[in-house]
């Protein structure tokens, strides 16, 4: 009994460290990196204020409009995945996506995102939609992984890198192949799980994967690629607005590296998410002759328009989730 209590206390303490100490450490590293480059943090704030006035304002407005495109594409993707369970309008899919964005802001991994999207399905289909959610997430991850690995290849060809970098690159290409291979096994996931006694009960969550044809997967992959290109363009527009003087090819290389880093390093809270983004920006742009305060401000701007604003909008739809409906809840199928 005492051992169990000790284990629970240790897990809670570990979670506390991951959620709060790690983000604080990352943010400290960001500040330290800026200070090492003799940049004043006040300059970052000043650049942000300037970005919303003058000639930069137009680029930021276009970036903001692309935010709507970004999340609309994600809604189309979820609509395509969920329709195997029940009909879903674009509006309902968009509500689920934005609610998931808000819940994901205060949760670990993709749990909040999944809860938001599942929350607009009928109760009888929620658990069965887990496989659909995982398929969409895996495809989006593969697109980011592939583009980021291409960018990392180009990056290493430009700099003098040690063997460690090339080992990481090799591991990334292997990860691309493994992820693609796993997608080809989607129709056999449930039968394979049923053969393992302690995993058999989870097989139902993946039964839906058998219903997706190659055409369905190709369509979702197209939408995932379009979404990736949309927020890549957003970042490029913001960098242009902040007058970051680098060739577009170099900017795109670094942007894709940032997205790759964000995808493979887990974030335990919104602070660590922002810290990872900012620290990665300072690190990768540090290989170029660029003002780190400029790129840090650009990264923060993209985070504000593409993450924070949808989170605030999504709060409205969180309270409308079917989990919280009192009337008719008892009669809803389960």
> 96-141 pLDDT, tens per residue?
999 888 877 766 657 778 888 988 888 788 888 888 999 999 999 9
Average pLDDT over residues 156-174: 86
What six digits make up the tokens of 9?
A: 């206390």
Write the CA distances from 25 to 8, 19, 21, 22, integer angstroms.
25, 11, 6, 5
The model's pLDDT over 234-270, given as tens digits with 9 standing for 90+, comes to: 989 888 877 777 888 888 998 999 899 888 876 544 5
- In the chain, what are the domain boundaries? 18-326
Measured distance CA(118)–CA(101) in Å, rounded: 12
Per-residue confidence (pLDDT) for residue 119, from 0 to 100: 83
**Mean pLDDT for the stretch of residues 275-295:** 77
Q: What pLDDT score was predicted for residue 53? A: 66
Q: Who has greater pLDDT, 263 or 220?
A: 220
Q: Nearest CA to 242 among 166, 295, 300, 281?
A: 295
User: What's the rounded Cα separation, in Å, for the pair 96 and 49?
Assistant: 33
What pLDDT, in 10s, does the model give residues 319-333?
777 665 544 443 443
Report the pLDDT value the prediction gives residue 72, as an integer from 0 to 100: 94
Contact (Cβ atoms closer than 8 angstroms) between residue 234 and residue 70: yes
Tell me the C-alpha distance between 298 and 135, whole Å: 32
Using left for φ > 0, alpha for ψ between -120 and 50, and beta otherwise, residue 63 falls in alpha
Average model confidence (pLDDT) for the chain?
A: 78
What's the pLDDT at 42? 57
């Amino acid at each position: 009994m005492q051992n169990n209590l000790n284990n629970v206390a240790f897990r809670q303490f570990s979670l506390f460290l991951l959620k709060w100490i790690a983000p604080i450490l990352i943010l400290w590293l960001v500040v330290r990196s800026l200070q090492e480059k003799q940049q004043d943090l006040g300059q970052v704030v000043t650049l942000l204020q300037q970005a919303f006035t003058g000639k930069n304002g137009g680029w930021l407005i276009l970036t903001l409009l692309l935010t709507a495109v970004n999340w609309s594409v994600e809604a189309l993707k979820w609509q395509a995945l969920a329709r195997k369970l029940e009909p879903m309008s674009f509006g309902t899919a968009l509500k689920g996506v934005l609610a998931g964005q808000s819940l994901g802001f205060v949760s670990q991994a993709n749990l909040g995102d999944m809860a938001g999207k599942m929350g607009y399905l009928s109760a009888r289909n929620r658990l069965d939609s887990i496989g659909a959610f995982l398929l969409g997430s895996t495809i989006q991850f593969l697109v980011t992984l592939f583009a980021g690995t291409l960018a990392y290849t180009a990056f290493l060809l430009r700099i003098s890198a040690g063997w460690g970098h090339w080992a990481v690159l090799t591991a990334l290409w292997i990860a691309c192949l493994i992820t693609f291979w796993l997608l080809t096994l989607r129709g056999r996931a449930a039968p394979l799980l049923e053969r393992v006694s302690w995993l058999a009960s989870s097989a139902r969550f993946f039964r839906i994967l058998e219903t997706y044809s190659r055409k369905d997967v190709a369509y979702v992959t197209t939408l995932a690629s379009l979404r990736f290109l949309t927020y890549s363009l957003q970042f490029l527009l913001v960098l242009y607005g902040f007058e970051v003087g680098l060739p577009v090819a170099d900017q795109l290389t670094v942007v894709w590296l940032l997205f790759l880093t964000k995808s493979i390093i887990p974030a335990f809270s919104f602070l660590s998410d922002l810290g990872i983004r900012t620290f990665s920006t300072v690190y990768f742009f540090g290989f170029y002759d660029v003002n780190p305060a400029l790129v840090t401000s650009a990264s923060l701007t993209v985070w504000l328009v593409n993450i924070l604003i949808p989170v605030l909008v999504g709060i409205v739809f969180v309270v409308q989730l079917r989990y919280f409906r009192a009337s008719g809840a008892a009669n809803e199928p389960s």
